[in-house]
Every structure is written in structure tokens, then in C-alpha cells.
Structure 1
Amino acid sequence: MSVYSMTGYASAQHSSDRPSSEAESKSAPPNHLGLEIRSVNSRFLDLSFKLPEELRQYEPVLRELLVSRLKRGKVEVRAAIESNVQSSVVDPTPRLLQRLNAVQDNVKAWLPDAAPLSVADVIRLAAGELGANCDWSETILTLARQALEEMLSARQREGARLATMLLDRLGQIRALAALAVPLVPQLVAQQRQRFLDRWQEAMALTDGSTLPEAARDRALTEATAFAIRIDVAEEVTRIQSHLDEIERLIKKGGELGKRLDFLIQELHREANTLGSKSAALELTHISVDMKVLIEQMREQVQNIE
């Protein structure tokens, strides 16, 4: 399966055929419907719709379509109807004119100073009525499916780019972990020799009140305790385990954003522990470099579905 980003955009347009005669133009509905879908990252699936009143009735079916294909993201659906009034003047029907006249008389009865309807008002209301009476059910669903498929393709392409970047960062962190492994035995050996050197210096200055064997055992005990404190083998092992799991999930694909987010947090905690146990500048640099790479991964994982 593919890795999907939660960021995407797509739009679709539909234009009805131009009327073939003047008679048909009198009842022609608005001839253009545009729909767009845009998506950004979100912890959950958050849908919002900005539709004109003529299309508000189709919101439930649009919501059902999106829920069936999307799992996460803040998704906004916009649609707009453009009428053909500029290229073809709509001729109001006698029934509509009677209704408008009755409404105007009723308004005038309560508001004598209200301005009367103009010819432009009547034409605009006639065009609006035609748009309201038009059945857009099949058209809007077709446009929504088309835009959704295009947006999913865009999210898939962006997801592939994110997956490539994450795999690259995983490789860099693996290389840093590999550098950390041989440093610990070297540090332990250096510290052990340092303790023994100090023991020998102390024995040269002692007046014989301290047994050499006891002093030597104490020095070795301190060296052992130091080795335990700076041993990062367990942290390195857990880091490698988290890296393996992240790589497995990325290659598997699907809905993995939340799982990756959790693993990135665990990876960051192990890198912090690695730094806190650091007894050498080299390990400190490795820990800092790891955390920089992990933070880069965290920012991108927020965009994965």
C-alpha cells in the first residue's frame, strides 16, 4: 500500500450545453458548476462544506463519499454555481411574475417606503429560481468523485516524497547509532586505566596504612560502576528496534500516521537518554545529530495520514 499525505487540493468543473434555441434559453438553468476539495493535516477527519443554498441538500451524500475514502485530515469542500445570465437573459414565467407582484404588494403594505423591484431584480430572481429548481444530484456527485480521485493522487505523490525523506533520515540515524556502539568499550577501557593510574599514584604516596589489594579493588569497583552508568548499549538497541519498525510501517503503507508519531516520540526519548549518559564529546555530538534528524522526521510525520 502507498503512504498518503494529508495535504492535497483538486477541483472539477461542469458546464451545461448552450441552449440551441431562444425558446430553450428561457428555461435554461445556470450552466456552470465548480467544485474544489482542499485538505491539510489534522489529528482526525474534520469535514467542512461551503455550499450555496441550491446545493446544501447534497451535503449528506458528499459527506458520505468523503468518509468512505479519507481517514484523517481537515478537509474543506467548496462549490459554486455561475448562471448564464450574461450570455442569455432569463425570461420570467407569468407564474413567477404573479408571485413577485404579490410579494411586493405585501411588502409595500407593511413598508410603504420600500423600493419597487427593478427589471434587473426580476431577472436575477428568475435566474435564481431556475438554479434552485435544477437537479444537480448526479452532476455534483460526479464532480466530487473526480475531484476526490485527483486529490488522493496528489496526496499519494506527496506521501511518496515524505516516505523517501523519512527513509533517508532513518539511514542517517542508523549510521550515527553504528558510530556510538564502539565508543562505549573504548570509554570504559580509558576510564579503567585512569582509575588504575590513580591507584598506583596513591600507592606511591601511601604510608602503608592501606592494603594495595583493597585500594586496587576499590579502583576497579569504581571503574565498573562508571561503565554501568555510561553503558548505552540498551538505548542503541532500542533505537535500532524503533528504526526497524518505522521502516517496516513505511514500506507497508496505509494508515500509519498516528503509529509513526508514537514511534518518533519513543525514538526522541532514547536519543535524549543517550545524550544524558554521554561521557565523551563524541557521544554528545551523536546524540545532538540524532535529535536534529528525529525532529525533521517528526515535522513530516504530522502530514502523513
Structure 2
Amino acid sequence: MLKYKQQHSKKRIKNRTCTSDAQFQFYFWIQRKAYYNVMTRKKYMVLSMTGFATSTAEIALANNSKMILSLSIKSLNSRFFEMTCKLPSILSNLEIPIQRVLQKQLHRGHIFLHIKITNQEALQESVTPSIHTIQNYLDAIEIIQKKFDLHDKVTLSQILQLPNALQNEEVELNEEVEAAIVKAAYDLSVQLIQAQQKEGALLAHDIKQQLTSMQSKIEKIQTLSMQFIKEKKEALTHVMSLLLAFPAEQEQKSQEQCLLEAKKSTLLYEIEKIDINEETVRFNSHLINLASQFETTETAKGKKIDFIIQELNREINTIAAKCSQITISSLAIDIKSELEKAREQGQNII
């Protein structure tokens, strides 16, 4: 059964993406590597969208020389995956294959990839004179000499300096070489992920500290709210006892009775308005959900974090609007400030 699955997987990959044995071997390696990354993704709990990495690669060519590549990659914040490649003209056809491979690795962010061939001479297979071009130059020089009565001799070194006097024939990059270049870009993306992991760990640490602070403040708000409601209920009980002291059959209410009735209505409204138990329960639930995002093996979690922070902002705004008690209002403002910091840091997470 296992052998059948492997054969079926190889057949599917080869039919879909590969045109040679070299490409097949490379893309099958990529698939195994991607599976390995998924199984070990716990190491990459949180990845920052910003990072930088560099590397060099030596790739054997058909003329028995080695092409040396200098690679650099950096990523910046972006809502989606974007990629800007700066490649030598001889490698321009590899931009799309490289982009496909890196998109599977990096998920989000604006990626800038720069590949440079440091030993361009390794690509030169032969140098031949362009006889037709040189003859055109000599004919033009002869016309100029006759026209202006010039007798200067044209030297070989001067001819060789003329544009396109020599033709450089470059080594053709076969599929094995192209696959090795794509693999070098893939290896560089792994280094970028390691850099993103280090920065992501710092972001996660800061957000977790803000979660702890918000948890403490919302507990204080709950305690103060319950205490405030208790005080209002005691005041309401006192008002009710005073109202009950007036005769029930009294035809016209006294000024004092009217004032007590108004105070009763105010207290009932305040008790109903300040009941923020539902909002604090939801706020705590969102805090737990936000904390759990840092324990999942899912790679792309930045959008979820941003959405949860929006929900937390909605709940704390409701709490602040419902309760005008000074201490509670001050704590709500502190929580909003913590949420803004967490939102800014969360936007840096993939």
C-alpha cells in the first residue's frame, strides 16, 4: 500500500509540473520538504512578516565550470503575498517557478529577492569576432577619413573596444542547473523563516504580556462593577423603604415623595446600565481565544489575531459606554491602549 501511494504521488507530481527527471527529482524533494515543514511547524509558532537573509551558492555548469550566485531576500508587511524579483537576464525565465515555490513557504508579506551572478565569466563558453559588424565599422571609418582627409590608423585595440565587435556565447543553462537555482532560492527562504521566527517570538512575548495586563484590568473592572451595583442596590433599597413610609391612599404626592420617585427611577436605570457582566464574559472569552493562537501549529495566524483584537475593542468600547464610573473608565482606557499596541504588533505577524 505504501509503495502504491509513493508511486501514485510521483506520477501525479510528474504529470502536473515536471518535464524532465531533474525537475521531477527537485519537485518531489520540495514536496517532501514541505511535508517536513508542516510536521515540524511547532518550531515556528509565530512568524514575523519582516525578515532578512543572505546566502551564496555554487552550481556546476555543463562546461565544467561553477557559477557562483549571491542571493538576498527580505520581507515586509503586506496583507497578501507579493514578490519582487531582481534576476540576471539569463535567469529571467525562473522568476515564476521561484515565486511559486516561495509562496508555498512564506504565505504572506512583500518579498524582495535579489540574485546576482558574481563570476559572470563562468558563463562564457566562447568569444568570437563579429566579422560583419567590424566590416561595417571599417567601412564607416574609411568614409570618414576620405570625407575629412584624415590619415590616422585604426588599431586592433580600438576595434575591440567598439560595441558588439565581439560576440560572447554563454553556456546554456540546462534543467538540472535551473532546478539547482530554484532550490538555492528555496534554501534561502528557509533561512528567512528562521529570522522571522526569532522576531515572531519577541512579538508573541510582548502580546502575551499585554494579554496578562488586560486580564488583570478586566478582573478589576468586574470587581468594581459588582461593587458599584451593590452600592446602587443598597441605595435603591433605602429609597424604597422611604417611599413605603408614605400613606398609600395619599391623593397628592409631596415634593419629597416626588424627589424619591425620581431618585428611584435614576437608580433603576443606573443598575440596569452598569450591568456589564455579559460584556466582561465575552471579553475574557476573546482573551482566551487570542492566547490560544500562539499555541497552534497553523502558520498564518496574523489575520485571526487582528480579527480577535477587533472583537476585544468592540467589547471594551461597550463597557466604557455603559459604565461612567471614573475608575472603570480609566481602566477601560488603559485596556484600549494595550489593545492598540497588540494590534500594531499583530499586524507584523504572518
Indicate the TM-score class for this superposition, using the shorter chain for normalisation: 0.7 to 0.9
- RMSD between aligned residues: 3.7
What amino acid does structure 2 have at the position aligned with 1:133?
A: E
The reply on whether 1:298 has 2:343 as its aligned counterpart is: yes
Which residue, out of 307, 315, 321, partners 1:262? 307
SS of 2:324's partner is: coil
Partner of 1:23: none
Partners of 1:104 and 1:117 within 8 A in 2: no
Query: Where does 1:1-305 land on structure 2 (aligned, <5 Å)?
Result: 1=42, 2-15=45-58, 31-83=67-119, 93=127, 96-97=128-129, 100-105=130-135, 118-119=159-160, 129-130=169-170, 133-135=172-174, 136-192=177-233, 196=238, 209-210=252-253, 219-254=263-298, 255-305=300-350
- Count residues in correspondence: 283
Deviation at 1:61, TM superposition (A): 1.7
Seen in structure 2, the aligned counterparts of structure 1 residues 8 and 124 have a Cα distance that, compared at 3 Å, is: farther
The answer to which structure, 1 or 2, has the higher relative contact order (CA under 8 A, 6+ apart) is 1
Deviation at 1:157, TM superposition (A): 1.9
What amino acid does structure 1 have at the position aligned with 2:132?
A: A
What amino acid does structure 1 have at the position aligned with 2:74?
A: R
What amino acid does structure 1 have at the position aligned with 2:93?
A: Q
Partner of 1:24: none
Partners of 1:14 and 1:139 within 8 A in 2: no
What amino acid does structure 1 have at the position aligned with 2:290?
A: I
Partners of 1:30 and 1:82 within 8 A in 2: no
Deviation at 1:220, TM superposition (A): 3.2
Partner of 2:150: none
Partners of 2:47 and 2:201 within 8 A in 1: yes
Seen in structure 2, the aligned counterparts of structure 1 residues 147 and 249 have a Cα distance that, compared at 3 Å, is: same
* Structure 2 residue runs without a partner (length 5+): 1-41, 145-153
Deviation string 1:18-71 (CA, Å, 9 cap, x unpaired) is: xxxxxxxxx786743111121112111111211110110111221121122121
Q: TM-score, normalised by structure 2?
A: 0.69
Alpha-carbon distance in structure 2 between the residues aligned to 1:273 and 1:125: 76
Deviation string 1:183-232 (CA, Å, 9 cap, x unpaired) is: 1132234345556579969x99xx99427888756543431211111222
SS of 1:133's partner is: coil
Alpha-carbon distance in structure 2 between the residues aligned to 1:28 and 1:43: 45
Partners of 1:30 and 1:84 within 8 A in 2: no
Deviates more, 1:192-201 or 1:64-73: 192-201
Partners of 2:73 and 2:188 within 8 A in 1: yes
Seen in structure 2, the aligned counterparts of structure 1 residues 190 and 152 have a Cα distance that, compared at 3 Å, is: same
Deviates more, 1:159-168 or 1:254-263: 159-168
SS of 1:237's partner is: helix
Alpha-carbon distance in structure 2 between the residues aligned to 1:121 and 1:109: 14
Alpha-carbon distance in structure 1 between the residues aligned to 2:47 and 2:312: 22
* Structure 1 residue runs without a partner (length 5+): 18-26
Partners of 1:92 and 1:123 within 8 A in 2: no
What amino acid does structure 1 have at the position aligned with 2:186?
A: R
Deviates more, 1:291-300 or 1:29-38: 29-38
| Identity value in percent | 24
Partners of 1:62 and 1:141 within 8 A in 2: yes
Partners of 1:199 and 1:215 within 8 A in 2: no
Alpha-carbon distance in structure 2 between the residues aligned to 1:252 and 1:91: 53
SS of 2:349's partner is: coil
Seen in structure 2, the aligned counterparts of structure 1 residues 170 and 110 have a Cα distance that, compared at 3 Å, is: farther
SS of 1:46's partner is: strand
Deviation at 1:178, TM superposition (A): 0.4
Partners of 1:92 and 1:122 within 8 A in 2: no
Deviation string 1:95-152 (CA, Å, 9 cap, x unpaired) is: x21xx23234457889988x997535689966x643x635541441232122111111
Seen in structure 2, the aligned counterparts of structure 1 residues 110 and 223 have a Cα distance that, compared at 3 Å, is: farther
What amino acid does structure 1 have at the position aligned with 2:181?
A: I
Alpha-carbon distance in structure 1 between the residues aligned to 2:272 and 2:88: 69
Alpha-carbon distance in structure 1 between the residues aligned to 2:165 and 2:310: 58
